[in-house]
Structure 1
Amino acid sequence: MLLTNQIILLTGGADGIGRKCAQAYAGAGAKVVIADLSDNKASEAANALGNEHLGLKCDVSQGDQVEAVIQRVLARYGRLDAIHNNAGIAGPSTALHETTDAQWDELLRVNLKSIYFTTRFGINALTESRGVILNTSSMAGVIGQAAHAAYAATKGAINALTKSMALDYAPLGIRVNAICPAGVWTPMLRQWAADQPDPASMAAYLDAIHPLGPCPEGDVVADAALFLLSEKARFITGHIMHLSGGAELGYRR
């Protein structure tokens, strides 16, 4: 029970990696507030965890909605111990010059500016609890990814932002880390695979890129996220954790 009675705000927690993290946090004793773009999905995911958890509709790219969610959290629970910035989008599958203005702006708002909003409106509560911030990034932000320039740019920015935040908030006792999955089977990844020129080959490709084995499910990410939010990671901050099965390592035969 590494997170007993901890209050955790988890964005994008209704499915995929977020849903697995919500289940792991609840199983470790936390009370989880799932903020998701879909009100129905957020409520369903929270209800599946139990009545002490909460599901709220939130477009994380809109500051007023993020502020309202944090106020709801504080009104119900009286504190906030951790924010896991997990919400994100991956499309479009294009090179930079093929990316539209609207696509570029949406990626920046959802993947990056959302972290600004949760931090801006949550920092006072996290200061009181000497809490934790965890950002879901991607190996694309570490090693790049063909035909995903804008997405990789947002994830690389998250990695740099995580380190700066860690320095800024260390004097407040707040730790800030990021997790970088490679391939993980989620609804988003399945949609990405379907959008590729040869969708039928994608499963074999995703299995092959991980030296430790086939493309995993989201529980591998949830286990690492749970550790980073817990006191077991109390002296870890500014860390960009690779959850890649070795996908980025070395020459291959």
Structure 2
Amino acid sequence: MMQQLANKVIFLTGGSMGIGLECAKKYAEAGAKLVIMANDKASLETAIAILGKEHSAFFGDISNELDVKNGIELALNKYQKIDVIHNNAGIANPAKPLHETNDAEWQNLFDVNLKGILYTTRFGLESLKQTQGCILNTSSLVGEIGQENHAVYAATKGAVNALTKSMALDYAKYKIRVNAISPAGVWTPMLRQWGKAQENPEKIEKYLDDIHILGHCPEGDVIADACVFMVSEKARFITGHILPVSGGAELGYRRTD
């Protein structure tokens, strides 16, 4: 995997913690230069301290058009190109059924989980045309199979899947590949927050282990390894694909006792 991404410039949203930070570390190990955009200054500083000063951080709101425009411009001014846009930033709360979700919660989930893809594409597409680069979206298995008490989050991830396929069709003529990565459970701060909000938080860890037929809920490095492959030349003939990195969670119900 080392130097698989040598000389590539990756614009990564939500790259300062959780799956995003694991991706950032793997991308850097593989030789890429990174611009990480996130809305938490402390975690951005920590991420750059881990990655090294040859990488860049940009503080901003992924659902804000001007912030994303400025972030893309920072990447282009510093590195003169963008080879990969990884739309990873997202939120999962609140965990509620649809009728309990208020308008502000609905709007916030759609703004964060989808507008970022709109804006990074709007401002980064011309550079991707020049580099014949690729776009990777972080989706979720719930976008395909649904999730109890998580209706709006699941709806946003279903929309990410549909966007990914449509974008792949639209941008193939420019030799730009567009794919999505689709985890089930992954131990991140966001998932732990979700677990604490459940009716029986103490049972969540076993539940999350059991839904993966390989027997455990993974850390973010397993997702990051798949992402390195998907944005590399080794995946050069893959586009419009929603790749499950899910330990087989999508294969169906099973007995665990």
Task: Calculate the TM-score normalised by the size of structure 2.
Answer: 0.97
* Match for residue 75 of structure 1 among 70, 74, 77: 77
State how 1:56-135 maps to structure 2 within 5 Å: 56-135=58-137
Q: Which one of 166, 172, 179 corresponds to residue 177 of structure 1?
A: 179
How far apart are 1:47 and its partner, in Å?
2.7
Corresponding residue for residue 153 of structure 2: 151
What is the alpha-carbon distance in structure 1 between the residues aligned to residue 10 and residue 49 of structure 2?
15
- Aligned-residue offset at 1:72: 0.6
Task: Say whether the 8 Å CA contact 1:183–1:216 is kept in structure 2.
Answer: yes
Q: Following TM superposition, by how much is the alpha carbon of 1:243 offset from its aligned partner in structure 2, in angstroms?
A: 0.9
> What amino acid maps onto 1:220 in structure 2?
V
The letter of the residue matching 1:158 is V
Contact 1:43 1:56 in 2 (8 A): no
2:43 to 19, 41, 51: 41
Aligned to 1:33, the other structure's residue is in SS state: strand
Q: Pairwise CA RMSD of aligned residues? A: 0.7
Q: Please state how far the C-alpha of 1:18 moved relative to its aligned partner.
A: 0.2
Contact 1:32 1:46 in 2 (8 A): no
Output the amino acid matched with 1:243: V
Spell out structure 1 runs of 4+ moving beyond 4 A: none
Aligned-partner Cα distance in 1 for 2:104–2:241: 32
Distance 1:76 1:204 in 2: 46
Q: Which of 173, 190, 193 is residue 192 of structure 2 equivalent to?
A: 190
Matched residue, 2:233: 231
Letter aligned with residue 173 of structure 1: K
Deviation sequence 1:11-59 (CA, Å, 0-9, x none): 0000000000000000000001111001232132023111110111010
| CA deviation string 1:91-122 (max 9, x = no partner) | 11100010000000000100011100000010
Tell me how far 1:248 sits from its aligned partner: 1.5
Equivalent residues, number: 253
Tell me the alpha carbon deviations over residues 107-156 of structure 1, each in whole angstroms, 9 at most, x when there is no partner: 01000111000000100011111011000000010100010110000000
Equivalent residue, structure 2, for 1:32: 34
**Identical aligned residues as a percent:** 59
